[in-house]
């Protein structure tokens, strides 16, 4: 397959995953937010999937794009650079782990990609942003950690199912 066609497929897939992440985040913001700091959200699912399928830089781009679009479409259209950095790190780390550290598609790869991405991007970086920018209490990190551990478990199960489907297996062969 020509390189230009592969790049077009990669960009299209990244845009679709960005849109999926935005819609999941929008749904969760409206229905699964508790208090002002805590939300059960599956917006990272598509970002992690982008990292696994497309690599760390596409994963980071999907995270950044989704976060910026989400901010611009909200009632308060200010982009928080720390929160955006957390979203980028989710995509980057999942791609780094999947493409360069644990290269064989396996449950271990999906677990490592999702949990490390969540712990660094979601819990560490985004929590720091919430503490400094929004006044979240310091112990909110532990509440966020508990939510992220549970969400990552569900995301790993979904990613494992998605990665076993014939269309995704075929797509991955085409783009890599």
**Domains in the chain and their CATH numbers?**
3-175 (1.10.1760.20)
CB 3 within 8 A of CB 175: no
As to burial, measured by CB atoms within 10 angstroms (0-12 exposed, 13-18 middle, 19+ buried), residue 37 is: middle
pLDDT at 36: 67
Q: Using 50, 70 and 90 to split pLDDT, how confident is the model at 176?
A: confident
Cα 142-52-155 angle, rounded to 5 deg: 45
Looking at the DSSP bridge assignments, the partners of residue 34 are: 38
Q: Using 50, 70 and 90 to split pLDDT, how confident is the model at 74?
A: confident
List b or e across 94-119, with b for residues whose CB sees 16 or more CB atoms inside 10 angstroms: bbbbbbeeeeeeeeebbbbbbbbbbb
Looking at the DSSP bridge assignments, the partners of residue 38 are: 34
Tokens 């969760």 sit at which residue?
A: 28
In the chain, what is the straight-line distance between the N-terminal and C-terminal CA atoms, in Å? 10
Q: Model-level pTM?
A: 0.92
Tell me what the mean pLDDT of segment 29-34 comes to: 72
Which pair of structure tokens corresponds to residue 86?
A: 């957390």
92-145 per-position pLDDT tens digit: 999 999 999 988 888 999 999 999 999 999 889 988 888 888 888 888 888 888
């Amino acid at each position: 397959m020509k390189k230009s066609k592969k790049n077009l497929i990669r960009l299209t897939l990244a845009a679709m995953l960005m849109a999926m992440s935005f819609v999941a985040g929008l749904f969760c913001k409206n229905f699964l937010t508790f208090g002002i700091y805590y939300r059960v959200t599956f917006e990272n699912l598509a970002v992690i999937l982008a990292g696994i399928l497309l690599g760390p830089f596409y994963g980071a781009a999907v995270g950044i794009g989704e976060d910026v679009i989400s901010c611009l479409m909200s009632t308060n259209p200010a982009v928080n650079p720390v929160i955006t950095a957390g979203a980028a790190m989710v995509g980057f780390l999942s791609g780094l782990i999947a493409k360069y550290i644990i290269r064989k598609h396996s449950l271990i790869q999906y677990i490592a990609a999702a949990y490390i991405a969540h712990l660094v991007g979601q819990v560490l970086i985004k929590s720091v942003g919430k503490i400094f920018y929004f006044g979240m209490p310091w112990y909110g990190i532990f509440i966020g950690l508990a939510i992220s551990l549970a969400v990552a478990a569900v995301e790993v199960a979904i990613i494992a199912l998605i990665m076993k489907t014939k269309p995704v297996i075929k797509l991955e062969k085409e783009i890599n």
